[in-house]
Amino acid sequence: MSKPAIEAYGIGKQYRIGETVAYYTLSETVARFLRAPFRRRAQADQRLFWALRDVSFTLQRGDVLGIIGRNGSGKSTLLKILSRITEPTEGRAVVRGRVASLLEVGTGFHFELTGRENVFLNGSILGMKRAEIVRKFDEIVAFAEVEKFIDTPVKHYSSGMFLRLAFAVAAHMEPEILIVDEVLAVGDAAFQRKSLGKMSQVAGEGRTVLFVSHNMPTVLRLCNVGLLLSSGRVAAYGDIQSVVNTYVRQGMELAGERRFEPSTDTDLAFTAVRLRDCRDAISAQVNWSEGVFVEIDYVVRRPMRAAQIAFRLYNSDGTCVLTSTDFDSDLSRYEATQAAGNYTARIFLPSTYLRSGSYYLELIAQVPHVRLLDHVQNSISFEVLDDGSHISQFGARHGVIAPVLEWQIWRQD
């Protein structure tokens, strides 16, 4: 049996808050040395911060590991340690095989050089021999879709072109281990699909992939192993479905109502969201046969045209079940100007479209295709309860939603 591709043993990374790197002349260095005993107490008062603590896991060859967690949980720090960009404060990581990392868009690229020159430069940094780069050059450029601009300095590239070329180089160097941070979010939908297909191909060839993303459906589709980080520690590790379920439920306390401190730097901001049952009572539990009213409070600070209010409904897997906007029922609102003031939007959500289980809402306010006004993730969560009226005697229903649809059947002869 071959040895694991990656073994992490108690990895920890500590930073000193407020610490900066400074450079001194010889006389300043001597003076600082003489004053050192008097500075120790002040330095001891500086706060230490553990970005990672006691992170251990084993990853086999051919596994695709999805690393998930909220912002600041330590995901990028872990990738930098595994990529040998930074050293751990404690613990150690054993990485077997050539590693290709794409942690930040354009790492290793020189803005004054052309795309062609940067392919050779970046390929060399990632460990490719010149003959290997020459052999793969046309394939890399075709994948990145930058043929017309390959001899143009990359400082003139858009962020999407830059990303496509950087990913193409990293993915085509045939690494034993491919490490990708969520920089793929910069690309368009078509490129994201192609990139995910390339990572699946890499994994299918028996190589190992580490993938960081906040897109849970993508993580579920691509990965077979999950690692959930919370405040720098391992909160869950194992089968990707169970790890994603744990992540989605983190911080999702059932609540019939939530109020927000509205942002002051936007012309439209959310102030509250609540759920009301058919008896007009605020509740976080919905009977399958009844449905629920969603009420969204928001403030408009100055008259606005084409402002759109929307919500997205997610299930416990992190899959977006549906999206609804105020333009759905009244398209004329797009042309109308909304006066300044406090507003409440009320929407009926028929729970008969939903399976029993946990759900949460994401709120979005925007001027479509122009700018985002306000955005509240995990704004409120609730449960749909099977109250016995669900048609279940013929077995469990499959699918993201479970509507009861009207059937018409007739005999043709």
The torsion angles phi and psi of 132, rounded to 5 degrees, stand at -65, -40
132 pLDDT band, cuts 50/70/90, is confident
Question: What is the structure's pLDDT at 75?
Answer: 92
Question: What is the structure's pLDDT at 160?
Answer: 78
Q: Which two tokens stand for residue 135?
A: 């052999």
Could you tell me which residue, 158 or 11, shows the higher pLDDT? 11
How high does pLDDT run on average in the chain? Answer: 82
The model's pLDDT over 241-286, given as tens digits with 9 standing for 90+, comes to: 889 878 876 655 567 888 988 877 889 999 999 999 888 889 888 8
**pTM given for the model:** 0.65
The model's pLDDT over 137-163, given as tens digits with 9 standing for 90+, comes to: 999 999 888 999 999 998 898 877 888
Cβ–Cβ under 8 Å, residues 230 and 70? yes
How far apart, in Å, are the Cα atoms of 29 and each of 23, 35, 44? 9, 10, 20
Cβ–Cβ under 8 Å, residues 257 and 246? no
* CA atoms 18, 22, 28, 32: torsion sign: positive
Mean pLDDT of 191-202: 80
Does the pLDDT of residue 410 top 80, yes or no?
no
**Domains, the chain:** 6-249 (3.40.50.300), 257-385 (2.70.50.60)
* Residues in the chain, overall count: 413
Range of 25-29, 97-101, 138-142, 392-396 with top mean pLDDT: 138-142
The torsion angles phi and psi of 329, rounded to 5 degrees, stand at -95, -15
Could you tell me which residue, 139 or 403, shows the higher pLDDT? 139
Strands 320-325, 308-315: pairing is antiparallel
The model's pLDDT over 14-43, given as tens digits with 9 standing for 90+, comes to: 987 765 545 455 566 666 666 666 555 545
* Cα–Cα distance, 81 to 91 (Å, whole number): 11
How far apart, in Å, are the Cα atoms of 128 and each of 101, 123, 141, 147, 169? 13, 5, 16, 21, 10
